[in-house]
Amino acid sequence: MPPVDKLLLEETLQDSPQTRSLLSVFEEDAETLTEYTNKLLQSMQRVYGAQNEMSIATQQLSKQLLAYEKQNFALSKGDEEVISTLQRFARVVDELNSLHTELAKQLADTMIFPMIQFRERDLTEVSTLKDLFLLASNEHDAAMAKYSKLPKRRENEKLKSEVVAEVASARKKQHQTSLQYYCALNALQYRKRGAMLDPLLGFTQGQINFFKMGVEMFSKTLEDFLSSVATMVHR
Amino acid sequence: MPPVDKLLLEETLQDSPQTRSLLSVFEEDAETLTEYTNKLLQSMQRVYGAQNEMSIATQQLSKQLLAYEKQNFALSKGDEEVISTLQRFARVVDELNSLHTELAKQLADTMIFPMIQFRERDLTEVSTLKDLFLLASNEHDAAMAKYSKLPKRRENEKLKSEVVAEVASARKKQHQTSLQYYCALNALQYRKRGAMLDPLLGFTQGQINFFKMGVEMFSKTLEDFLSSVATMVHR
């Protein structure tokens, strides 16, 4: 089969076997995409969850470092130095926490949110329209079956015109539904690439910002502090 | 009370009320330190857990990106470009994963391990010696009580010498145990500062390395890749 761009809306009225066959290809693609999207979203949510947990964990660690001062150690000799050093470490952990919190927020906004939106909006729309399309097709088939079973005699003119009206109405409804369904399937193909790649752009951009800010934060001053602590501990 | 450096080992033999009172200060300090160490270790383990989880989560995300190629999408038009872009993103996530894994390893080695070692070795030793010291003190008290209840009459010379030997043995045992106990309590005071600060040096040094490597990894080349993806997605 040559590559296909989209379902042609003008084919919906005739509803030929060829069109139906092409439709089934788009439907299969949409199903595969739905399954893959769910798994990818799960993986992304796990990364986001870990990032969030890191944000909470660093916050708790900082609190715990500050809590040293409130322990009322029975022997407090030399504790002022330990307390002030722990306070400085708590500031480091706080700054790290702010980086982690910022990254978690960015991942939520630029990775998780677009992915969920794609699932809730585009994929769900296709799935809903598929149901409506099937319903309308069945109604149309039922009307057609009724029509084909009509007795040929003349005295049934009134019944006949009623069934013809029913067929026309069902056909119209099916046509409208298929127009919407085909449009949604075409839109899905159009959005597929962006839906997969945009969240990863967000993810990577978030990491770049995180590392840039991290390097700025962990400056020369901090390395000086660390060597003074190392000296203090091992003297 | 003026600041005290250590329990004097020469006081263990006399075991005066003043020495006992000073001992109780050291014991109280050791208890506070044990409680605080446990809480701090918990906070550190939560950070380490989050770091480990991030390492696993990024590994899974990379796998999921590579899995796109194996989905057999019914419509594969334009997929080569998506596949190769996802493969490039998977490499980015892989490199990020190696940084997270390295950091998790560093936190385990330089933050969690020394903290657990301090708890399992120093704090547990003090607690064990405290039990032994109490036991020896009780035995000594019991021997002393027996001695004080000895009848004053002469015919009990043999019993008396037995009890005296018992008291001497108990005192010797108590003296030896208290020597060890005092030593351990002094050592704890000496190690307290390093035990608190060394893991934080490890933690901070790990973060510095992580950010340095991260900035190197997320180089100009990657930013070029990201802008080409952005163009591709939004064209």
CB–CB of B203/B111 below 8 Å?
yes
Answer yes or no: are the C-beta atoms of B85 and B232 closer than 8 Å. Answer: yes
Among all residues of chain A, which has the CA nearest to that of B77? A3
pLDDT by residue (tens digit) across B202-222? 999 999 999 999 999 887 788
If phi > 0 it is left, if psi is from -120 to 50 it is alpha, else beta; for residue B102 that is alpha
| Predicted local distance difference test score (pLDDT) of residue A218 | 82
Judge contact between B129 and B180, C-beta under 8 A.
yes
Closest-CA distance, B162 to chain A, in angstroms, reads 42
The token pair at A168 is: 């026309």
> Which of A63, A72, A75 to mutate: most B Cβ within 10 Å?
A75
A38/B contact by beta carbon, under 8 A = no
Q: Is A232 on the interface with B (CB under 8 A)?
A: yes
Model confidence at B1, in pLDDT bands (50, 70, 90)? very low
Tell which of A31, A200, A224, A226 to mutate to test the B interface (max B CBs under 10 Å).
Answer: A200
- CB pair distance less than 8 Å for B25 and A74: yes
Ordered per-residue pLDDT tens for chain A, 235 residues: 445 678 988 888 888 888 889 999 999 999 999 999 999 999 999 999 999 999 999 999 999 999 999 998 998 777 889 999 999 999 999 999 999 999 999 999 999 999 999 999 999 999 999 999 999 999 999 999 998 888 877 667 888 888 899 999 999 999 999 999 999 999 999 999 999 999 999 999 999 999 999 999 887 788 899 999 999 887 7
- Asked whether B233 and A193 are in contact (CB, 8 A), the reply is yes
Residue A133 sits at the vertex; the CA angle it makes with A120 and A25, to the nearest 5 degrees, is: 75
Chain B residues within 8 A of A4 when measuring between CB atoms: 75, 77
A221 touches chain B (CB under 8 A): no
Distance from CA of B180 to the nearest CA of A (A): 20
Burial B159-198 (b: 16+ CB within 10 A, else e): ebeebeebbeebbebbbebbbbbbbbbbebbebbbbbbbb
At residue B4 the predicted structure's pLDDT band, cuts being 50, 70 and 90, is: low
What is the pLDDT, as a whole number, of residue A3?
52
Q: In this complex, do A226 and B201 lie within 8 Å of one another by their Cβ atoms?
A: yes
Interface probe, candidates A43, A87, A203, chain B, greatest B C-beta count within 10 A: A43
- Measured between CA atoms, how close is A193 to chain B, in angstroms? 7
Cα dihedral B58, B60, B66, B69, rounded to 10, equals: -140
Q: Which of residues 94-133 of A touch B (CB under 8 A)?
A: 96
- Cα gap B38→B123, rounded to integer Å: 10
Contact pairs from chain A to chain B, CB under 8 Å: 209
* Best to test chain A binding among B93, B97, B99, B197 (most A CBs inside 10 Å): B197
User: What structural domains and CATH numbers belong to chain A?
Assistant: 42-218 (1.20.1270.60)
Q: Are residues B226 and A201, on separate chains, in Cβ contact within 8 Å? A: yes
Q: What is the structure's pLDDT at B3?
A: 52
Checking if the pLDDT of B168 tops 80, the result is yes
Q: Which residues of B touch A46 (CB under 8 A)?
A: 53, 56-57, 60-61
C-beta atoms surrounding A203 within 10 Å: 25
Kindly determine whether residue B67 and residue A39, on different chains, have CB atoms separated by under 8 Å. yes
User: Which pLDDT belongs to residue A4?
Assistant: 62
Check A71 against B232: CB less than 8 A apart: no
CB contact under 8 A, B211 and A218: yes
pLDDT at B2 over 50: no
Rounded to whole angstroms, the Cα distance separating B232 from B227 reads 9
Residue-wise pLDDT tens digits, B57-116: 999 999 999 999 999 899 877 788 999 999 999 999 999 999 999 999 999 999 999 999
Mean pLDDT score of chain B: 92
* CA distances for B50 relative to A46, B43, B208, angstroms: 11, 11, 18
Instruction: Let me know how long chain A is.
Output: 235
Q: Is there a contact between A187 and A129 (Cβ–Cβ < 8 Å)?
A: no
* Distance in angstroms (rounded) separating the CA atoms of residues A108 and A106: 5
- Say if B80 is an interface residue toward chain A (CB within 8 Å): no
Window from A81-95, B10-24, B33-47, B187-201 with minimum mean pLDDT: B10-24
CB B40 within 8 A of CB A64: yes
pLDDT at residue A13 in the model? 80
* Contact map slice: B 135-164 vs A, CB within 8 A: none
